[in-house]
Structure 1
Amino acid sequence: MGMDAVPLSAAPTPRAEAGLLRRVAFSPLSLWIAFLAVHLIISGLALDQGKGLGDVFLVYKPWAQLAAQGTQIVGVDSDWVYPFGAIVPVMLPLLFGADGYVWAWLNMVLLLNAAAFAVLIVGREPRRLIAAWWWLGFLLLLGPIAVGRLDSVSASLAIVGLLWLTLHERAAVVVLTAATWVKVWPAAILLAAVVALRSRWHIVLVAVTTSAVIAAVPLIFGAGWHILSFITMQTDRGLQIEAPVSTFWMWQAAFHVPGAEVYYDRQLLTFQVSGQGTATAGALMNPLFALTAIVVLLIGVRAYRRGTPYTRILPELSLALVTAFIAFNKVGSPQYVVWLAAPVVVGLVYQGRGFRTPAVLVLITAALTQVFYPFLYDWLLVPDPSMVAVLTVRNLMYFVILGWTVVALWRRRHRQEAAGDLVPAHAWPFRSTPGAHPEPVGGSAR
């Protein structure tokens, strides 16, 4: 009597396992769980001994309280280091009371990031989902500073503006202009859009009109020249210790060279470095940035005139200008790394793997930043040579990123190189056509 063979279930193949993993990773539930987990982690780290939230409860909260009491409205009654639009996110958390200001701040950032995340993932296009995972990894690697400054507000607005740009240009430019009135850096993205898109004069018109409406508010209340104080207040400050230009003197301070030391500026509430030549170096930063920005913009114009599609100009040019803004800035605060997220997100959405190199470089930059800020920041204040070494590598990364973007803009001249680029068919709540799918790039601009 023979025995019948017992059928065995086939073992899952690597392809099947990869498919399952992909489905899980790309499911909305997984993405939103990861989003909440990342924000809980970095917010929890920020709340640990107040690390990364110093500006929120020591600076933003007093500003909000003074304004609520009618004692002083920064940017209206006095000079302010930020554009006037920043008063909105500074004041909003106070609606939940002074005692709950920090919690309200973190929830405000969470909601803004959630809105940007929803715009990014709705539609479930693979490249956008990959960009969403990249953004979450970026936030986790950067750590508490990613939610503890006004820069996080402008960053989420910038991501939304870039995703809307090819679907509803007017709304996108309004959002990007509003972000610029919170922190100046999104102006670099608007400049990149002016170069990359044919509708440049429409972009300029909408941006100027939006700026006029925003500026009218403080002017009506008698702000006068205080409205431009965010520009003038930056000119007199010294070299902040994290800035790339400060690296030379940080090494001098680490090895106790006479005259080189880290000190605290009580007016600006920042740590700066002194030493022979720091004043001259600080004075050169704005001209160097202006020169670099002009050169980068001209390279972008060259790429446009050679027929390079905007999917190959807008992300690279945005990232180049934003990186130059950091690399030649005498402030160089750790939160400035947040600025790099928006250009990388849109680069991954448009180009996919074609934007992999800068995406990895920015992740490394974020991770290096968290090494010294906020938990080991005291070592940098000493300054400890090992921590200055980490800072040096992080600062060099800015120039590596800037170099990659410039080379990419210079060499990508043919439309065929962008044959695989995709323009999103929709970004909530806007759609190009009902039921549309991502479209391959067929022209040099809209």
Structure 2
Amino acid sequence: METTDARRPPVRLLAAWAATRLVLLLFVFKVYVFPGPDVTTDVSVIYQGWYGVLRTGSFPLDDVTWQYPPGAALAILSPALLPFWDYATAFFVLACLADLAVLLLLTRAGRRPGRTPRGALVWTAGVPLLGPTVYARYDVMVTAVAVAALLTAARHPRAAGALAALGALLKVWPALLLAGERRRGSWAAAAVTGAALAALSALTLPGAFAFLAFQRDRGTEVESLGALVFHVARHFGWEGEVRLTYGSVEFLGPYVGAVSTAALALTAAAFGWLLLWRLRARRFGSRTLAEAAFTAVLMFTVTSRVLSPQYLVWLVGLAAVCRSFAASGMRLPSGLVLAACAVTVLEFPVWFAHVVAGDPLGVALLFVRNGLLVAAALTAARALWRRTVPSRTAASAPARSVPGRRDPVSS
């Protein structure tokens, strides 16, 4: 029989979570000033501005920085749940509560047969590595929905599909949670939930899908993998510039369009690999859904034209779910993601000025961070393929069975 104490998070883990999150809150509330640019202005200025527009009954159609699907309105409006605080304070508290929800979900999952508490440890350690940016963006809320979807999938596939659809309407990427899903019930629930929420958004607020045009027109952001081309080219006479546009710092100038197109081609290639994997995969286990989701999001993150620091919150959450399985094949990719988090906080916000300037320090940080993420994506893809796709030798070998004799292959 499971006791009440057994259902509670381990005291030391909860203490570590509380201590590290207190530090993050002290930074976002500016009790202490974190080095680099103020990361909280996205909440106090941009989000709060959107909040005012959304409350009038419309999406921010005249603001090109609004590049999110319609479900994002739920996150932006969420501080209304705590009307006794100002907008920024309420948002930071809700972000912290979403963080706590992920910890509790992972802790509970870690007690099931075949599971381990390492997932909760990865989340507890990984989030503070990114600094106060985690609580100054709504990505931690989306990650909480994604983690809930993956941890619910084994027992409640339809609920998991619905949660994945909700996550996709919050920030698109949770649609990749279904990359390794084979059950029709989960796909059907995702389709119905997604269609219903999208229709409701379009009917209630005008401009629900204006974000698609804004996303289409984006260039190459200075932290992305493709941006390394221009960071190096600037030292050899490239005549371009860095400018704040579409809500992020991007490169503008010769060949930027070509590099952005190449990034889209890499994304298409990643999608092609995932499709090939689905066609070839035969060995699906309890951990395959989480490992496929982690691999898919890694691949689409590193090939994106934009690679903002908060994207790593997604990866930490998915890595934590993968590590909650005792037989996880994602140990190395998860470790690489955590290492990338430690470098990310240095490139943003600590030394972001060096990144924008493209000096040796800034370029070195990007090479290391993006290199770690590329390595994580490649090793995750390799591990997923080897665990699920039978080798040609094994597939073509005839099955031999001798009565009364033990099969040496299975011993």
TM-score of Structure 1 vs Structure 2, range by shorter chain: 0.7 to 0.9
Letter in 2 for 1:178: L
Provide, for residues 299-340 of structure 1, a one-character-per-residue CA deviation record: whole Å limited to 9, x for no partner: 24312x2xx133353233212210121111111111111121
TM-score, length basis structure 2: 0.84
Q: Match for residue 34 of structure 1? A: 16
- Give me the whole-angstrom Cα distance separating, in 2, the residues matched to 1:63 and 1:389: 36
- Residue 167 of structure 1 pairs with residue 155 of structure 2: yes
Unaligned runs of 5+ in 2: 391-411
Structure 2 counterpart of 1:138, which letter? G
1:390 and 2:370 matched: no
| In structure 1, distance between residues paired with 2:194 and 2:200 | 10
Q: How does 1:355-370 map to 2 (within 5 A)?
A: 355-370=330-345
Tell me by how many angstroms 1:96 deviates.
Answer: 4.0
Alignment partners' CA distance in 2, 1:357 and 1:104: 37
- The answer on whether the counterparts of 1:161 and 1:173 sit within 8 Å (CA) in structure 2 is yes
Q: Partners in 2 of 1:281 and 1:27 — Cα distance?
A: 47
- State how far apart, in whole Å, the 2-side matches of 1:235 and 1:123 are: 39
Note if contact 2:159-2:186 (Cα within 8 Å) is conserved in structure 1: no
- Confirm whether residue 209 of structure 1 aligns to residue 196 of structure 2: no
Give the structure 1 partner of residue 70 of structure 2.
84
Mark the CA change 1:75 to 1:263 in structure 2 (over 3 Å): closer, same or farther. Answer: closer
Query: 1 CA distance for matches of 2:279 and 2:331?
Result: 24
Distance 2:319 2:359 in 1: 32
Q: What's the CA shift for 1:256?
A: 6.6
> Which of residues 211, 233, 236 in structure 2 aligns to 1:230?
211
Aligned to 2:123: 135
Q: How does 1:159-198 map to 2 (within 5 A)?
A: 159-193=147-181, 197=182
For residues 142-153 of structure 1, the aligned pairs below 5 Å read: 142-153=130-141
User: Partner amino acid for 2:201?
Assistant: P
Identical pairs, percent: 27
Q: CA deviation at 1:251?
A: 2.3
Do the aligned residues in 2 keep the contact of 1:252 with 1:260 (CA within 8 Å)?
no
Distance 2:108 2:139 in 1: 24
Matching of residue 51 in structure 1 with residue 42 in structure 2 = no
* Root-mean-square deviation (Å): 2.6
Q: CA deviation at 1:407?
A: 1.3
Query: Relative to 1, partners in 2 of residues 1:326 and 1:359: Cα closer, same or farther, differing over 3 Å?
Result: same
Task: For 1:27 and 1:150, locate their aligned partners in 2 and report how far apart those are by CA, in whole Å.
Answer: 25
Go from structure 1 to structure 2 and tell me whether the alpha carbon gap of 1:125 and 1:324 turns closer, same or farther (over 3 Å shift): same
| Unpaired runs of at least 5, structure 1 | 1-22, 416-446
The residue type paired with residue 213 of structure 2 is T
Query: Cα deviation per residue 1:21-66 (whole Å; 9 max; x = unaligned)?
Result: xx9xx96222222222221112323344573222111211111022
How many residues are treated as equivalent by the alignment?
A: 377
Q: Please, what TM-score do these two structures have when normalized by structure 1?
A: 0.78
Q: 1:289 aligns with which of 264, 267, 292?
A: 267
How far apart are residue 74 of structure 1 and its match? 3.0
Equivalent position of 1:116 in the other structure: 102
1:251 matched residue in structure 2: 232
What is the DSSP-based 3-state SS (H/G/I as helix, E as strand, rest coil) of the residue aligned with 2:251? strand
Larger Rg: 1
In structure 2, the CA distance between the partners of 1:302 and 1:342, relative to structure 1 (3 Å rule), is farther
2:86 counterpart (100, 104, 110): 100
Q: Is 2:242 the partner of 1:262?
A: yes
Report if the CA contact (8 A) 1:150-1:182 is conserved. Answer: no
